[in-house]
Structure 1
Amino acid sequence: MGKIEATITGISDWIWGFPLLLLLAGGGLYLLVYSRLLPFKHFWHALQVIRGKYETASNVGQISAFKALTTALSSTLGMGNISGVAIAITMGGPGALFWMWISALIGMATKYYTCSLAVMYRGTDDSGESQGGPMYVIVNGLGKPWKPLAIFFSMAGIFGSLPIFTANQLTQVIVEVMPPSFMGPSKGLTLSMVAIAISILVGLVIFGGIRRIANLASRLVPFMVTLYFLSVSYILVVNHGRIIPVLMDVFRDAMTGDAVLGGSLGAIIIMGVRRAAFSNEAGIGTAPLAHGASKNTEPIKEGLVAMLGPFIDTIVVCTLTAIAILVTGSWQRSDLSGVSITLDAFVSAMPGIGAPLLIFIVAIFALTSLFTYSYYGSKCVVFLFGSKYRNTYNYLYIAGIFLGSVSSLAGVVGIIDISFALMSIPTMVSAILLAPRINAATASYFKKIELQKQLA
């Protein structure tokens, strides 16, 4: 098992090298410039769309634009924000946070294009259900000769949607907080029992389809972001004297890479982009799977909604986690990894209540991610094999929860990183090639908005 884990980690490190960095960060920067900084110019307009100011009735999709955003956020606002950030900082130093910020700002443009395309080039599955996502964008936007690229995305998406990382970190934090006597004397037995309980709970939701997942996500996501914000704000208040020095460390280390083993600036940039991609998924292709199910018939409007995702996910939530870890010094403990680092920050700042509070927050973050990723994976299966195999995938997905719970952290992170890297290739290639059509649609959309304002 040690050799297998080392092989997976080696492949993951190799695939997340300069070429992929160029595709994700360089491609995203190209889209940001090509859009003429649209995410920044129309940020307020996007907020107004979320509030329903420009809502129109439609029966094309399955869920509202707001529910599409919260569904997408329910996957991105997960363990990547709590343990993924901790991994980034322990491996890349405080400066990794800076490059996560840069990646998120660039990722707003990437999300705008990829999710606009998901609505513009929606397709239907073999049951006649309206579907969206990179595979449909490739086939309907680039044409049938490009279908092998769509198949490639779907195959990678099946593995990228597996619940192994989230299940691993959720069971870890539960086992660490719960006393052994609560669930059994053996740690192995405890892991198994927790995994079974999670599997049953997730199964009750995911077999209800996207509408049940979206309804639940639209209720839980705003609540969990607010609760996490308040919790980490308290940690920052308790350690307020460390905030300014920590921020100085972030900016200094981002330019020097001193906290990285070997002092490589390139390594810290790659780590920041890698963990940001894992957290907000900009350019990976999962968010378009959710936004493609929106009832919204206006591609540009959906893209504006989607581009808020990286801002909420990385600029807000990941920053909260990172600063909490840095001000408490938890990231420097060599005996901790992943979610345990964030747990240590909570415990040190809030003795007595920190552990149960974080386990409650982690449970909500993780469960909503588990609900949504099952939908992503099932869409890839439906595209490849047909809708009759949707539930077959869900059974395998639930089995994956158990497998991930009892596997090593390094192994599961490596598998997800490899899958995300492979998914990003067709997603970014199609977005860059079809970007001119989104720009034309953008100009038309805002002309209509200006006309409406003049008539009003």
Structure 2
Amino acid sequence: MATIGAALNAFSSFMWGTPLVVLLVGGGIFFVLHSRGLPYRYFRHGFQIITGRYDNDSGDQGDISHFKALATALSGTLGLGNITGVAVAITVGGPGAVFWMWITAIIGIATKFYTASLAVMFRGRDDAGHLQGGPMYVIREGLGRRWMPLAWLFCIAALFGTLPIFQINQLVQIIRDVVAVPAGLTLADDHLAFDLLLGLIFSALVFAVIVGRIQRIANVTSRVVPFMVVFYFVLTAILLVQNASEIPGALSLIVSDAFSGQSVAGGAIGTVILIGVQRGAFSNEAGIGTESLAHGAARTNEPIREGLVAMIGPFVDTLIVCTCTALAILVTGAWQSDAVGVTMTSNAFETAFPGFGGLLLVVMVFFLSISTVLTFSYYGGKCAGFLFGTRYERWYIGFYTVLIIVGAAASLRAVIGLIDGMYATMAIPTMVSSLLLAPKVRVAAKDYFARLKASGG
């Protein structure tokens, strides 16, 4: 088993290595230059779109509104990566890694504009005749049947990459360590029954939502996501006000360390950049393809409009939420302790809210994890339907809910490498197809913005 775990971890490390970073960052830079920065000038228009100002429920195709599509996409990206991932980035790459997470997000804005626009532009019908969007349909409809191996690769990778095991396992662990063990509800070294009980509860909760398909998932996430962002922003704001004098120093440290290459682990500047880009990609998922699965369901006949909505994702996910986490860790000095991962972030919040800071973080992690699991079930179901037929989607839902119970009590050493490696694999077909079809997006964008300008929008 140890050999399998080592092999899977090696697979993950290889997939998240320099070639993938070059593909994601290099592709993102290409999209920025190819678009001549045009989408960035219409950021305000993207926010106008999610207000419902341009919704046309009767005439446009799709399943959910622009806002619900964005909320669904964000619920998939706003996860433990925003809490644990930032702490890992600082631990391994130093404070400077946060700077490169910012750069990845800024470039990722252009990437999401292209991938989400294509997700609507090249939607296709599944075997039940329902209109669907996502990288596999972009490849099939936009590039043709000879490119189908790329579509299959994406779907196979997504089936593994969106498994709920990691999110549920970490959620159960946090609840157990912060709440249950101190309260005497379970033992630190004998907690299988407690883990399974939580797994059953979470499985039933998730099942009650995902049986309603994308409409019900979107209804839930459109309420949960705004709450998560506001709740976390308020908590962090209180913490930062308490440590206001440390903020300029923290920001200066992030920038200076980004170019000095002095990390906690003593790595070189190349390592700092690599870690920052990796964590940024984990955080906002620009170019991974999951964003296309959500935005492809938007109710619109204007691909560029959904591309503008998708651009908001990296801004909220990385530039706001991840920055909140990073500053909380830095200004409190939590990053200089021996703690790692979520414990480091928990320690930071304990300084602002002594005695219950960890509990507040548990609340945040609960909503982050459950919303991500809900969205991942939709992603996996769509990929299963594409590979095997829509009649098998209901079997996938059953399989998915069972895995939630398994994930609550399972050991993750042999699983994390597989999930992470497959997650990275999704980026290959997504970025290749988006780069090949980029001219289609630029033509559509010029037409859309010309019409928008003519209408006075």
Q: Same fold (TM over 0.5)?
A: yes
Deviation (angstroms), 1:139: 0.5
Residue 352 of structure 1 pairs with residue 355 of structure 2: yes
Distance 2:185 2:130 in 1: 43
Deviation (angstroms), 1:413: 4.1
1:429 to 432, 439, 443: 432
Tell me which amino acid in the other structure corresponds to 1:19: P
* Corresponding residue number in structure 2 for 1:88: 89
Given that 1:225 and 1:317 are in contact with CA atoms closer than 8 Å, whether structure 2 keeps it comes out as: yes
Match runs of 1:3-402 below 5 Å: 3-57=3-57, 58-180=59-181, 181=183, 183-185=185-187, 186-334=190-338, 336-402=339-405
Deviation (angstroms), 1:59: 4.7
- 1:169-199 CA distance string (max 9 Å, x none): 2112101111335533333333222222211
Say which SS state the counterpart of residue 140 (structure 2) adopts.
Answer: helix
Tell me which amino acid in the other structure corresponds to 2:146: P
Tell me which amino acid in the other structure corresponds to 1:444: D
Q: TM-score, normalised by structure 2?
A: 0.95
Distance 2:225 2:120 in 1: 23
Q: TM-score, normalised by structure 1?
A: 0.95
Deviation (angstroms), 1:262: 4.4
Deviation (angstroms), 1:231: 0.3
Distance 1:142 1:384 in 2: 18
Kindly report the root-mean-square deviation, in angstroms, between the aligned alpha carbons of the 2 structures: 1.7
- 1:117-167 CA distance string (max 9 Å, x none): 000000111111111000000000001110111001000010111112211
Distance 1:38 1:52 in 2: 23
Cα 1:36/1:66, change in 2 over 3 Å: same
Matched residues, percent identical?
51
Deviation (angstroms), 1:3: 3.5
Any stretches of 5+ residues in structure 1 without a counterpart?
Answer: none
Distance 1:262 1:385 in 2: 48
Given that 1:210 and 1:375 are in contact with CA atoms closer than 8 Å, whether structure 2 keeps it comes out as: yes
Deviation (angstroms), 1:38: 2.5
Any stretches of 5+ residues in structure 2 without a counterpart?
Answer: none
Distance 1:452 1:285 in 2: 33
Distance 2:85 2:272 in 1: 15
Deviation (angstroms), 1:168: 2.2
Given that 1:83 and 1:169 are in contact with CA atoms closer than 8 Å, whether structure 2 keeps it comes out as: no
Tell me which amino acid in the other structure corresponds to 2:46: A
Aligned length: 453
